[in-house]
Amino acid sequence: MPDEMSRPLIQERSDGGGSRRLEASMSEPSDPVIGILGTGDFSRSLARRLVASGYQVVVTSQMEVASQADLVFVAVFPEHHSTLVGLKPALAGKTLVDVSNGLRINQDGPSNAEQLADLFPESCVVKGFNTLSAWTLQVGPRDGNRQVFLCSDSSKAKKSVMQLCRRMGFIPVDMGLLSSSLEIENLPLYLFPSWRVPVLCTLFLFIFFYSYNFVRDVLHPVITGGKKAFYKMPIETVNVTLPSVALVMLALVYLPGLCAAFLQLRLGTKYNRFPAWLDRWLTRRKQFGLCSFLCAALHAIYSLCLPMRKSARYKVINEALKKFKDGVQDVWVDEDVWRMELYVSVGIMALGLLSLLAVASLPSVSNTINWREFSFVQSTLGYCALCMATLHTLLFGWGRAFEASRYRFYLPPTFTLVLILPMTVLLGRLALFVPCVALRLRQIRRGWERNRNIRFTLPENDCRNGLEDVSNV
Amino acid sequence: MPDEMSRPLIQERSDGGGSRRLEASMSEPSDPVIGILGTGDFSRSLARRLVASGYQVVVTSQMEVASQADLVFVAVFPEHHSTLVGLKPALAGKTLVDVSNGLRINQDGPSNAEQLADLFPESCVVKGFNTLSAWTLQVGPRDGNRQVFLCSDSSKAKKSVMQLCRRMGFIPVDMGLLSSSLEIENLPLYLFPSWRVPVLCTLFLFIFFYSYNFVRDVLHPVITGGKKAFYKMPIETVNVTLPSVALVMLALVYLPGLCAAFLQLRLGTKYNRFPAWLDRWLTRRKQFGLCSFLCAALHAIYSLCLPMRKSARYKVINEALKKFKDGVQDVWVDEDVWRMELYVSVGIMALGLLSLLAVASLPSVSNTINWREFSFVQSTLGYCALCMATLHTLLFGWGRAFEASRYRFYLPPTFTLVLILPMTVLLGRLALFVPCVALRLRQIRRGWERNRNIRFTLPENDCRNGLEDVSNV
Amino acid sequence: MPDEMSRPLIQERSDGGGSRRLEASMSEPSDPVIGILGTGDFSRSLARRLVASGYQVVVTSQMEVASQADLVFVAVFPEHHSTLVGLKPALAGKTLVDVSNGLRINQDGPSNAEQLADLFPESCVVKGFNTLSAWTLQVGPRDGNRQVFLCSDSSKAKKSVMQLCRRMGFIPVDMGLLSSSLEIENLPLYLFPSWRVPVLCTLFLFIFFYSYNFVRDVLHPVITGGKKAFYKMPIETVNVTLPSVALVMLALVYLPGLCAAFLQLRLGTKYNRFPAWLDRWLTRRKQFGLCSFLCAALHAIYSLCLPMRKSARYKVINEALKKFKDGVQDVWVDEDVWRMELYVSVGIMALGLLSLLAVASLPSVSNTINWREFSFVQSTLGYCALCMATLHTLLFGWGRAFEASRYRFYLPPTFTLVLILPMTVLLGRLALFVPCVALRLRQIRRGWERNRNIRFTLPENDCRNGLEDVSNV
């Protein structure tokens, strides 16, 4: 890849006093002179990027930086901030940009930036650039995340940093007052916070169903019949477990939406906030869906591997040997053939639909579709996928649920357990199609309320009349 | 996910007269005061976002909003626009932003925004923000689409809204005059307009080939031989249909480009517009290709499922039983083995190439590659995939096309029908490689014309001489 | 898709002297008048886009364009630049935007833009817009790449072009001085430069391992036993080759990181630049990984195809026939069953992990995750995938490495060759976990140096004390 940083953009200028400045030939007198305190990788990459963007940058002794620059980046470890207090008079009235990060997530505050602001009450502290790596600064914002989150109590300082940010090729995102700095400092420390619950949920379901299937499919034949069955553990048992997890997780994608609808119907308004757990669940639906898709895709691969295995080959040969010994000339069980042809075909369609949903949830795809299209994909196609997956399971289990021999150790077959939640969700969704229920829900979502007491405090009562909301959601 | 909206950014200020303003401590005197008419979800999310971006927002009685604000968002249902006429004098000279959406696609106009402009001839109406949902406004532009389409007849009003837009973290896209507002209002109502023809085409081909295969592979053995064959419907017949659809659709991706080239050769110029159907077809090639890929991928999964089925297992056992009864000791048909090894291998390579094409058409990937790379992937690799897929079909059918027993009910085997279009496309492409044809086409695409009558009206004749186009396409 | 360009946005105005201007009703007196020299597709699309963005555009005779416009786009082939010298006086002091491209990559210079600047020393030449196609200009920047790379020696001229760029809906990226124009002109001519080495490496490994396997698995049985084996070439030999390539390529992803770590440990500092080959290798890791993933995915599909083939079917039937003839009643080799169940299961998990890595390297996904998440996915999950894949190979080969019959033509089994590199990488990684090594490495990466001689020239020595780097990498 081309790299303009390798070109000699930077001219060093040394005046008599030993002070050194880096500048590009295109810097203008009206631009602020930028100073950088700190000499690590980040500082150097920042200096190069700033110079490449046409700014004068001062990187000499601390005092000279503080006195000559109009806008100073503080790129030292926060535990050394206190060593800078000597620069206080020189930095008074100037803008300080705190680029530091914490080592661990800080929930309580104060943030590094707030502590810096306490140390330099006469300077304007702006928090930002901490989400960028030295690497991104060095190669420029061409790939990787271009957003820079900024906050400050001084609107003027923030504006000048935003402009600088834009000129460096990044997209500044205004996060408000300096009280947001804690949040901004935590941003690069998160480890998939939105995935925690869905992944834990997937793991829990996997362990539960795996144990259940292990007892039924491995332990039971070994204990009751002394048959070889432990070899089933790596593939067959996993392959019965994965679709169970996938289907339950898919049902959990659509359950919170149903809960929300029934809650709105019960309260007769959409202006009551949902309980926090429901709110959080609603925002995690994408993650639940992708976990479901991953399990479904793995289930497909495991299933396709079944006939490849030595064990499958031995079984076919053994069956052929046995049938010949028994004098059987034609093996063919029509019910088994039909069942399998049908549930495999329906299963493939369910997987196809889930794949479309997964592709549509890629950020770059979901950004190009409008809300109506998003809703069509995630709601209409999504419910189709849920129906298909449920049908796949029903066809697989059909008849078997009522055979006594399937209740090993009195445990019902796995698929009967698995079907409870998706069937509930599908029935609940059907209930919302009943005309009077559907009509009421539509009214509520357009702003109708059973008890017209405004709970939201912002708007006056009088301006409600005749003016409903233009809700796109 | 972090959510700065949950922080108490908004301070309510109540002055004597009951008027209420929301403001952030960082708003500046030079910024316009923003008013919002309407109290729905959208209005409230908008108010919060504006305040978080540092603006003063007025949300009180209609009259106060109209008189105090410099820039007013009209967030009421368009059918209630007429209730606002009392505010006409107060809104004169101010900028009105119409954020409304239609309920269905409006092809004829006038748009909501144009009707609002008729109601308030002394205000400057800007259309925009209607493509955003209350949800996007609330959580901020961090994920989801950041583009805001704007149009207005007043350049000044549009500019101020663009600036506001940028400060809120969105990317304004200038769509020109207010006459574009109809288009902007329709934007969130479209349901995959570019996919309609490709999807319909796929469905039609699927139904056609499925019926054809049903008659040949299911009905024929049942009627003529009384054999069991209905069980083939869910998987085997689908699996013969899918590759047919995939190959024809892939040929349809490259057919319009050939048509365009031959049209340019025939007319001797590139400055004649293509007929509308060809233009539209050319812009739908990506969708045709993705439909083809979906069918090919499903075909792969269906094929891989074949040996897993009970029916396959029974057939193997039955064949073993029969061979043993017949005293056969070794089954091995070299031709069958070679044919299958070859067409499976070629088929996998075709699928691999199609996967690369599909990945390269993801927006985030296609945005990172330059035009030469795009053309290499979509044209060079694409034609390779078409060749491979055609070869896959040829190898599968080889020899069989000439066996009388394959012409059931006098219907030729499916693959002979399927091959017509891809073979035509490949031969057409070969014709364009003939040196004199290739040279002429290259000349035409660099601007050469057989009859030098300028059809394009903009440029003067005299400035053409010696100045050819710098065409990147 | 909606297309605002089809609307009659452009009004032509003809004054007495035959001069023609295109203007939108919203253009403002303060905006520069734009001229375009050249009449190709690109010029016309540019004119339409500029007018749609509210600019006055002059496209008449060359002299009038030069004299009336404030900012002139030069959209003629670079070999015709010299025909424009007559316009020199009229263009003096004006901004010229050179949009031309080269025909082939130019490594030596001077660039077209630099030659243009030599021709017009009194004008300010800005390079840019050459990466856009006429098509992108015509349909607008809604999809496709929105970035426009600009460079110029005149800061003022560049700024005005950046503003124009932004108003057209594109994102200007400042590339510095005009000396960067060579790079910008080369940008649209590159053909996946970052993929060259990884793809060549994949091809080389494929050819090597394919030949090796061909000799062992095809030639050997034919020569020594006269068995049919050539039929293995299209699928079986490929399927043994692909996982070998995949595993070695995956090891090559993690090898350069290890080299870097050991180099830093040896030199006792992180401030020495890595050798160029290591630097380049480190930036190609993603491409190596994706090549590995492609091979692994193809290996999965080939493996799943195995039982579907006629040859597999014939073999099963032949084995059944033989066993029956021999009077065998039960075939079952416990070791073979367990080995296969285990290595298949582990292989699927490795593929699942690699899929996650591949998805995470899509630009739109990697842009939404922070650095800690990126490192977790690419490093932690990546090493897990490498472990799994190595285990998959070990389980496959277990025991076989020590059977003399496996050393055909004295060649060791393929998997023993394949395992060398991944085992080395895993052992190297383990070595870095040894506490004293890990501690030293952590110190070095926080800025510690064994010999405190500053090699980086920019910062003064005195400002180092106590101020370590805030490195996000």
Q: What's the confidence (pLDDT) of residue B4?
A: 35
CATH number, span B196-311+341-445: 1.20.120
More confident residue, B463 or A427: A427
Q: What's the confidence (pLDDT) of residue C287?
A: 96
Residue C28 confidence class, pLDDT cut points 50, 70, 90: low
Give the A window 351-370 contacts with B, CB below 8 Å: 351-352, 362-370
Q: Are strands B124-127 and B95-98 parallel, antiparallel or unpaired?
A: parallel
For residue B368, the chain A residues in CB contact (below 8 A) are 143
Rg (CA), chain B: 32
Please say if the pLDDT value at position A121 is more than 60. Answer: yes
Domain A4-189 falls in which CATH fold?
A: Rossmann fold (3.40.50)
The set of residues, in sequence order, having a beta carbon less than 8 Å from that of B273 and lying 6+ positions away, is B279
Q: Cα separation of B421 and B248, whole Å?
A: 7
Give the A window 162-221 contacts with C, CB below 8 Å: 167-169, 187-192
Domain A194-451 falls in which CATH fold?
A: Four Helix Bundle (Hemerythrin (Met), subunit A) (1.20.120)
More confident residue, A175 or C124: C124
pLDDT digits (tens, 9 = 90+) for A62-100: 888 899 999 999 998 888 898 899 999 999 999 999 999
What average pLDDT does the segment B390-402 reach? 88
Task: Name beta bridge partners: A98.
Answer: A74, A127
Please say if the pLDDT value at position B116 is more than 80. Answer: yes
What average pLDDT does the segment B1-13 reach? 36
Indicate if the alpha-carbon torsion angle A104, A109, A113, A116 is positive or negative.
negative
**Cα-based distances in Å from B232 to A82, B227, B320, C473:** 78, 11, 22, 58
Q: What's the confidence (pLDDT) of residue A2?
A: 37
State chain B's mean pLDDT as an integer. Answer: 85
Helix/strand/coil for C71: strand
Residues forming CATH 1.20.120 domain(s) in chain B: 196-311+341-445
Please say if the pLDDT value at position B138 is more than 60. Answer: yes
Report angle CA B434, B440, B443 to the nearest 5 degrees: 135
Residues forming CATH 1.20.120 domain(s) in chain A: 194-451
Tokens representing residue C249 in the block: 């390529």
The set of residues, in sequence order, having a beta carbon less than 8 Å from that of B226 and lying 6+ positions away, is none
Q: Cis before residue A110, ω within 30 degrees of 0?
A: yes
Q: What's the confidence (pLDDT) of residue A40?
A: 81
Q: What's the confidence (pLDDT) of residue B170?
A: 83
Out of C330, C346, C469, closest to residue A38 by CB: C469
Considering chain A, what percentage of its residues have pLDDT values greater than 70?
88
Out of C368, C370, C467, closest to residue A188 by CB: C370
Please say if the pLDDT value at position A26 is more than 60. Answer: no
Inter-chain touch A341–B311, beta carbons under 8 Å: yes
Helix/strand/coil for C293: helix
Inter-chain touch C348–A305, beta carbons under 8 Å: yes
Q: Cα separation of C12 and A351, whole Å?
A: 56
Count of other CB atoms within 10 angstroms of residue B82: 10
- How high is the ipTM of this complex? 0.86
What average pLDDT does the segment C88-116 reach? 90
C300 near A CB under 8 A: yes
Indicate if the alpha-carbon torsion angle B327, B333, B336, B340 is positive or negative.
positive
HEC string of chain B equals CCCHHHCCCCEEEECCCCCEEEECCCCCCCCCCEEEECCCHHHHHHHHHHHHCCCCEECCCHHHHHHHCCEEEECCCHHHHHHHHHHHHHHCCCEEEECCCCCCCCCCCCCHHHHHHHHCCCCEEEECCCCCCHHHHHHCCCCCCCEEEEEECCHHHHHHHHHHHHHCCCEEEECCCHHHHHHHHHHHHCCCHHHHHHHHHHHHHHHHHHHHHHHHHHHHHHHHHCCCCHHHHHHHHHHHHHHHHHHHHHHHHHHHHHHHHHHHHHHCCCCCCCCHHHHHHHHCHHHHHHHHHHHHHHHHHHHHHHHHCHHHHHHHHHHHHHHHHHCCCCCCCHHHHHHHHHHHHHHHHHHHHHHHHHHHCCHHHHCCCCHHHHHHHHHHHHHHHHHHHHHHHHHHHCCHHHCHHHCHHHCCCHHHHHHHHHHHHHHHHHHCCCHHHHHHHHHHHCCCCCCCCCCCCCCCCCCCCCCCCCCCC
For residue C238, the chain B residues in CB contact (below 8 A) are 345
The set of residues, in sequence order, having a beta carbon less than 8 Å from that of B391 and lying 6+ positions away, is B346, B350
Rounded (10°) CA dihedral C410, C411, C413, C415: 150
Please say if the pLDDT value at position A235 is more than 80. Answer: yes
- Would you mind telling me the total number of residues written for chain A in this entry? 473
State chain A's mean pLDDT as an integer. Answer: 85
Q: What's the confidence (pLDDT) of residue B169?
A: 76
pLDDT digits (tens, 9 = 90+) for A364-387: 888 888 888 988 999 999 999 999
Lowest mean pLDDT among B267-276, C226-235, C288-297: B267-276
Q: What's the confidence (pLDDT) of residue C140?
A: 66
pLDDT digits (tens, 9 = 90+) for B356-379: 999 999 988 888 888 889 889 999
- Name the burial class of residue C417, with classes exposed (0-12), middle (13-18) and buried (19+) by CB atoms within 10 angstroms of its CB: middle
Element (H, E) at C37: strand C34-37
Q: What's the confidence (pLDDT) of residue B115?
A: 94
pLDDT digits (tens, 9 = 90+) for C167-212: 887 878 888 889 889 999 998 899 999 999 999 999 999 999 999 9
Please say if the pLDDT value at position B343 is more than 90. Answer: yes
Q: Cα separation of A114 and B311, whole Å?
A: 71
More confident residue, C389 or A324: C389
Residues forming CATH 1.20.120 domain(s) in chain C: 193-310+342-445
How many separate helices (H) and strands (E) can be counted in chain C?
19, 9
pLDDT digits (tens, 9 = 90+) for A351-368: 999 999 999 999 888 888
pLDDT digits (tens, 9 = 90+) for B144-160: 567 889 999 998 899 89
Which chains lie within 8 Å of chain C at 3 or more CB pairs, if any?
A, B
Residue A168 confidence class, pLDDT cut points 50, 70, 90: confident
Q: What's the confidence (pLDDT) of residue A8?
A: 32
Out of A183, A352, A372, closest to residue B2 by CB: A183
Q: What's the confidence (pLDDT) of residue B167?
A: 80
**Cα-based distances in Å from A142 to A137, A169, B141, C144, C173:** 10, 8, 20, 14, 8
- The secondary structure of residue C231, as a DSSP letter, is G
pLDDT digits (tens, 9 = 90+) for C294-351: 999 999 999 999 999 999 999 999 999 999 889 888 899 999 999 999 999 999 999 9
Tokens representing residue C443 in the block: 């110190």
Please say if the pLDDT value at position A459 is more than 50. Answer: no
Which amino acid would we find at residue C63?
Answer: M
Residues forming CATH 3.40.50.720 domain(s) in chain A: 4-189
More confident residue, B390 or C226: B390
Out of C331, C447, C463, closest to residue A61 by CB: C463
Match 């002091």 to its residue by tokens. Answer: C93
pTM value is: 0.88
pLDDT digits (tens, 9 = 90+) for A7-21: 333 334 444 443 455
Of all residues in chain A, the one with the smallest CA distance to C142 is A368
Q: Are strands B171-174 and B147-152 parallel, antiparallel or unpaired?
A: parallel
What average pLDDT does the segment C418-438 reach? 96
Please say if the pLDDT value at position A452 is more than 70. Answer: no
Considering chain B, what percentage of its residues have pLDDT values greater than 90?
55
Lowest mean pLDDT among B96-100, B319-323, C27-31, C304-308: C27-31
Residue B115 CA to chain centroid, in angstroms? 31
Please say if the pLDDT value at position C15 is more than 70. Answer: no
* Nearest CA-CA distance, residue B29 and chain C, Å: 25
HEC string of chain A equals CCCHHHCCCCEEEECCCCCEEEECCCCCCCCCCEEEECCCHHHHHHHHHHHHCCCCEECCCHHHHHHHCCEEEECCCHHHHHHHHHHHHHHCCCEEEECCCCCCCCCCCCCHHHHHHHHCCCCEEEECCCCCCHHHHHHCCCCCCCEEEEEECCHHHHHHHHHHHHHCCCEEEECCCHHHHHHHHHHHHCCCHHHHHHHHHHHHHHHHHHHHHHHHHHHHHHHHHCCCCHHHHHHHHHHHHHHHHHHHHHHHHHHHHHHHHHHHHHHCCCCCCCCHHHHHHHHCHHHHHHHHHHHHHHHHHHHHHHHHCHHHHHHHHHHHHHHHHHCCCCCCCHHHHHHHHHHHHHHHHHHHHHHHHHHHCCHHHHCCCCHHHHHHHHHHHHHHHHHHHHHHHHHHHCCHHHCHHHCHHHCCCHHHHHHHHHHHHHHHHHHCCCHHHHHHHHHHHCCCCCCCCCCCCCCCCHHHCCCCCCCCC
Q: What's the confidence (pLDDT) of residue A456?
A: 39
- Name the burial class of residue A272, with classes exposed (0-12), middle (13-18) and buried (19+) by CB atoms within 10 angstroms of its CB: middle
Q: What's the confidence (pLDDT) of residue C359?
A: 95
For chains A and C, what is the number of CB pairs under 8 angstroms? 230
Lowest mean pLDDT among B43-57, C335-349, C351-365: B43-57
Give the C window 405-464 contacts with B, CB below 8 Å: none
Count of other CB atoms within 10 angstroms of residue C93: 9
Assign domain C193-310+342-445 one CATH number from 1.10.3470, 2.60.40, 1.10.340, 1.20.120.
1.20.120
Q: What's the confidence (pLDDT) of residue B417?
A: 94
Q: What's the confidence (pLDDT) of residue C146?
A: 75
Rounded (10°) CA dihedral C199, C200, C204, C210: 30
Q: Cα separation of B144 and C91, whole Å?
A: 45
Match 């400060």 to its residue by tokens. Answer: B167
- Selection from A394-403, B45-54, B182-191 with the highest mean pLDDT: B182-191
Q: What's the confidence (pLDDT) of residue C246?
A: 98
Q: Cα separation of A158 and B309, whole Å?
A: 66
What average pLDDT does the segment C366-383 reach? 89
Least Cα distance to B47 among B24, B70, B63, B28 occurs for: B24
For residue A467, the chain B residues in CB contact (below 8 A) are 37-40, 76-77, 80, 83
Residue B472 confidence class, pLDDT cut points 50, 70, 90: very low
Please say if the pLDDT value at position C91 is more than 60. Answer: yes
pLDDT digits (tens, 9 = 90+) for B228-243: 899 999 999 999 999 9
Q: What's the confidence (pLDDT) of residue C363?
A: 85
Residue C416 confidence class, pLDDT cut points 50, 70, 90: very high
Q: What's the confidence (pLDDT) of residue C56?
A: 86
